[in-house]
Structure 1
Amino acid sequence: MRRTSARFALATVVVLGGVGGVTTANAADSEPAQAETLAVGTPTGFGADTTGGAGGDVVTVSDADAFIEAADSDGPLQIQVQGTIELDDMARVSSDKTIIGVGSSGRIDGSGLNIADADNVIIQNLTFSNSNDDGINVQYSTNVWIDHNDFTNPNDGALDIKRASTDVTVSWNHTYDSDKNMLLGHDDGNASEDVGRLNVTYHHNWFDGVNQRNPRVRFGDPVHVYNNYYDNVGSYGVASTEDAGVLVEANFFENTEDPFHLGEADSGPGSIVARDNHFVNSGSGEAGGSVASIPYGYSPDNASSVKSIVTGGAGVGNI
């Protein structure tokens, strides 16, 4: 099921020419025009309440200094990324931000984003490439929606969510050329912060030849993994560890010997409930235990249709 493309109404702004790689909205210098929120569609799942920078001004950035300043500014802001932003270090993203790529050209290269101690963040339609760390790291943050991005060739994880973060939706992303792809919960010893949190929905993502952690889960219960396409996954798809509870539902696994299992390396087992998945030239997976009820309504696509739906709609340029 494709997302809706409805947009929210927003305060009036006018976009004028700026300096230093940033174009800003400044209604005081001209007659105001009606603007709309930059984010396309609405999130479903645990991140459903995320609105990002809606209600804030719109800026367009085209260099690293302007991007870093805008992303970590106070108050709601909507940031359009024009072209490639070259980062040397992880750039912090503060609360009430929407960051969205313009067309298919928006790219964060060389390092990634650190959504830290933040609430209400949307990241959409960006390519994250060649990070010297993670593509995106989320920690101590809530109400986050990461949607329709590409992730490729990170030094560490493509998208890691950890340290008491919760109420996150990861949807319609395309990940490739990645080893440790998506981690949820960073350490076996972090139960005091993570139990009762790390509630994340992963849906309609394309795990394209990646190796492991799609996701690897600690503590979160429930975590919902549905309608994703796993293609030529090397080591394993989903791992549930350290008393986590993961519902693995209506996914399409192709050429994936180990679709899902309990425990991983030195981490003890969690639980997996698996239902209505579709397997092509793949193993059957290891499930067991119980998972807390999913607390929201949703309508999954039929698993046999997920490959065509996801490959036709995931990633940059498909919003």
Structure 2
Amino acid sequence: MSTQLCHGRVIASVVGCTALVLAVTGTGTAQAHGRDASRQTLAAGDGWASATTGTTGGAAADAAHVYTVTTWAELKAAFTAGGTAPKIIKVRGTLDADGDTCADFAADGYDFSQYLADYDPAVWGYDTDLEAEKKIPGTQEYLRNVSATAQAKAIKANVPDNTTIIGVGKDAGIVGGSLQINGVDNVIVRGLTLESPLDCFPQWDPTDGDTGNWNSEYDAAVVYNATHVWLDHNTFTDGAHPDSTLPSYYGRIFQQHDGELDVVKGADYVTASWNVFEDHDKTFMIGNSDSAGATDEGKLRVTLHHNLFKNLVERAPRVRFGQVDAYNNSYVANADYSYSFGIGYKSQLVAEKNAFTLPAGVGAGSILHRWNDYPLTATGNVVNGTSTDIIAAYNSANAAAPLRSGAGWIPELRLRVDPAKAVARVVAGGAGATRLR
């Protein structure tokens, strides 16, 4: 027997209509830490997501609310099926969210060549942004925005409360989709390879910097005003479209990627463990605005442990406001490296017993980047196998704008803490989507 979503209704059928099939699996019995990974819950004491009510996702789902999906449409249908009941969604194979080409989303009349001609800095200049153009029907910026709205509708999927999403079998993942964990509570995402969405319609902003920039939308996953979220054993990657493959226009890279994971706008109680974040520029942001104090003060509590951050440029993470506990993470840099920890407005970062592998010519003073003058705690870290005070290293390289020690709080929600010198080996052997299966 299986449940099917047919014309907006969930029905029980052996064959049923030809619409989206959501195959039921599982036993219907919740297990806290049994062999069925889809019913595992976050252990007590495992980071901020275990605080207060804890994070159980869909572990309590009955058999009628356990689905296996093999397409992006089926995943979106499973999110809306079954009302508010706890649910487990098993992803089998790779779900393609963004269609065959960007032309699938383009509005009638949108012409990128004409867009480039209309807003060429030699014609438009660098003093005025394009926001007014966005409101004038028929302009290329207006049509770009309409096109972007169509893409957003197709590739964003809203995750409901009390849900576990888990990859099963080989190659489980999502290409070009954006999981929106927005305004909900109690969500688990595990065992998925999430290839970053490729924004088909980046916006040119001539006022961004001295010579303008292309700005894109869509994170592979975003936690927005949500609570109790556990992201575990996932792989976040640019996959087939790294920045090195992207063209340049107006002398600036045509940036089609945003972040791999963001935790923003009042989100709280999040644990990210045993994930791989790789081959990306602006990777992971906690808190999206210095002016968001009304929503972010006292929130954005996030734990990062046993994650691999590999071949990244920056933001691993960049922090505003939050009490962020980053311990036992492995950072493996290449020549494109800029920094790992961004110290932002009212950030309260604790970074302990992490391992950094830096290439020749990149010093430990690069690990931190000061956006604002807020103190952090950073102890027990190793750089290329050597115990290193990364705050002192930063201050030695940046004497005119030093950072202060002492985040003002002590993390208590830690279950397993490995010696820093073992972290690179332990994380390499255990992090990522395939390590869960």
Assess same fold via TM > 0.5. yes
Q: Give secondary structure in 2 for the equivalent of 1:317.
A: helix
The answer (yes or no) to whether the contact 2:331–2:357 under 8 Å persists in 1 is yes
CA deviations 1:204-240 (Å, max 9, x no partner) are 00001111100100001x2100000000161101112
What does residue 230 of structure 2 align with?
145
User: Does the 8 Å contact 1:262/1:272 carry over to 2?
Assistant: no
3-state SS, counterpart of residue 47 of structure 1: helix
Query: What is the identity, as a one-letter code, of the residue corresponding to 2:236?
Result: F
Identity %: 33
Unaligned runs of 5+ in 2: 1-13, 99-154, 199-217, 239-255, 392-402
1:166 offset after TM fit, Å? 0.6
Matched with 2:88 is 78
The structure whose residues are more often helix, as a share, is 2
Report the equivalent of 2:329: 228
**RMSD after superposition:** 2.6
Q: CA deviation at 1:309?
A: 0.3
Equivalence map 1:137-286=2 (5 Å): 137-153=222-238, 155-220=257-322, 222-232=323-333, 234-255=337-358, 257=363, 258=365, 260-261=367-368, 263-264=370-371, 268-280=372-384, 284-286=389-391
The structure number with the bigger radius of gyration is: 2
**Any conservation in 1 of the 2:177–2:197 contact (CA below 8 Å)?**
yes
SS in 2 for 1:211: strand
Change (3 A) 1:289 1:277: closer
2:73 to 49, 65, 78: 65
C-alpha deviation, 1:297, in angstroms: 4.5
Alpha-carbon deviation of 1:17?
7.9
Structure 1 runs not aligned, ≥5 long: 1-15
**Residue-by-residue CA offset, 1:86-111 (whole Å, 9 max, x unaligned):** 11311111111100001232111112
| Count of aligned residue pairs for this structure pair | 298
Shift in CA distance, 299/149, structure 1 to aligned 2, threshold 3 Å: closer
Give 1:243 deviation, angstroms.
Answer: 1.5
Q: 2:47 maps to which residue?
A: 45
- Give the match's secondary structure for 1:67: helix
How far apart are 1:35 and its partner, in Å? 7.0
For 1:256-278, what per-residue CA distance to the aligned partner results, in whole angstroms no more than 9, with x for missing partners? 634543532xxx22221111111
Structural mapping, 1:90-169, within 5 Å: 90-132=156-198, 133-153=218-238, 155-169=257-271
Contact 1:17 1:23 in 2 (8 A): no
The Cα shift of 1:84 comes to 1.3
Whether contact under 8 Å (1:87, 1:110) holds in the other structure is yes
Whether 1:304 and 2:409 are equivalent positions in the alignment is no
Deviations 1:52-101 (A, max 9, x none): 01111210001121101212443211000011111131111111110000
* Per-residue Cα deviation, 1:13-38 (whole angstroms, up to 9, x for no partner): xxx888645333389xxxx7767561
1:157-205 Cα deviation digits (max 9, x unpaired): 0000000001000010011111111100001111111010000000000
Aligned CA distance change for structure 1 residues 17 and 147 (closer, same or farther; 3 Å) = farther
